[in-house]
Copies of this chain bind each other. A is one copy, B any other.
Amino acid sequence: MIEVALFGAGRIGAIHAGNIARQPGVRLKYVVDVDAAAATKLAQSHGAQTTDAAHVFDDTAVRAVAIGSSTDTHADLITRAAKAGKAIFCEKPVDLDLQRARTCADAVRAAGVTCLIGFQRRYDPTFASVKARIARGDIGRPEMLIVTSRDPGAPPVDYIKRSGGIYKDMLIHDFDVFRWIMEDEAATVYATGSCLVDPAIEAAGDVDATAVTIRTRDGRLAQINTIRRAAYGYDQRFEVLGSKGMLQAGNHRPTEALLWSTDAVAADKPEYFFLERYRAAYAAEMAHFFDVVAGRAAAVTSIDDGVKALALAEAATTSWREKRIVEL
């Protein structure tokens, strides 16, 4: 039985708790959160206890930790967990500061522990199928990548202020998709952004819409378009053009009902937001984490993936702020 501690009893923490509970051979032992009431409620619903971080790292029976607490706690918890020799699953980003993230990655490497960063899109059935088909050679060599990544609505400005900006908050996922699909690193990044949704976001020093172009070291091309508000919901698509064809990863819909009316033939809008769209991805991600912990699989991501996506986000932020093409 693998015993696990979960940091964070919020919305994403609850998702992870449920997925941990469903893993055979795994037991959720602790839930840790500064919000004691939330921690207690989540712990009780899964037969776990609440405790604090120090206790978790001292408990040698805990083999793995899942970190879904606020971003500013990630690097510290990862570092302490690594030193305590525990396998780590942590939500993105490692940290908003690239240097701190690199230091944290050094600690993980030094400890030699597993550290999976929560790029859940890699486990989405549709996205993973596209990746597998590329690997199988269905489209030849990937040459161009077009990513569409739009939220249904903008969060409160308070969230924006703590988010690290649109590139570290939203596009970090898309930068990981880019690295995962193209299997290459960026040579140059160009980002231009605008505030099209909420002027308060501009006042907070951020943008809510952006167009990013990445050129890989071997000259292949990627474009990402992102906005914090799409009236029709959460829009998560990408397409990869290869030398022999194209693969498109489309949105998921709640149902396959079609209404033929006097107006149109209407299908469902996409799944509402990330908790719905990536429900299966979060489950598969956690299953993968415990496969790695149990020695049944090699980790598909490492903390380096977290650092490299963050480096891209930082480069994009610079490109947007300084209105220039950034070389990496």
Please name all residues of chain B whose beta carbon is closer than 8 Å to the beta carbon of A299 when the two chains form the complex: none
Provide the A266-307 mask, 1 if CB < 8 A to any CB of B, else 0: 111110000000000000000000000000000000000000
Check B210–A192 contact: CB distance below 8 A.
no
Partner of A264, one of B227, B235, B267: B267
> Is A188's CB within 8 Å of the partner chain B?
yes
Residue count of chain A within 8 Å CB distance of chain B: 68
Nearest CB in chain B: distance from A9 CB, A: 18
> Is A112's CB within 8 Å of the partner chain B?
no
Chain copies in the assembly?
A: 4
Nearest CB in chain B: distance from A61 CB, A: 22
Given known A194-B220, A221-B211, A269-B265, contact A260–B244 (CB-CB < 8 A) = no
Check A263–B255 contact: CB distance below 8 A.
no
For the A-B complex with A231-B242, A264-B266 known, give 11 more contacts whose Cβ atoms are closer than 8 Å: A126-B255, A138-B261, A143-B227, A196-B243, A248-B257, A250-B257, A260-B269, A264-B268, A264-B269, A265-B267, A265-B268
A residues engaging B (CB < 8 A)? 125-126, 129-130, 133, 138-140, 143-144, 146, 148, 150, 188, 190, 192, 194-196, 209-211, 213, 215, 219-223, 225, 227, 229-232, 235, 241-252, 254-270, 323-325
> Can you report 10 A-B residue pairs in the complex whose CB atoms are below 8 A from each other?
A126-B255, A129-B257, A139-B259, A140-B231, A188-B192, A194-B219, A196-B219, A211-B221, A227-B241, A266-B267
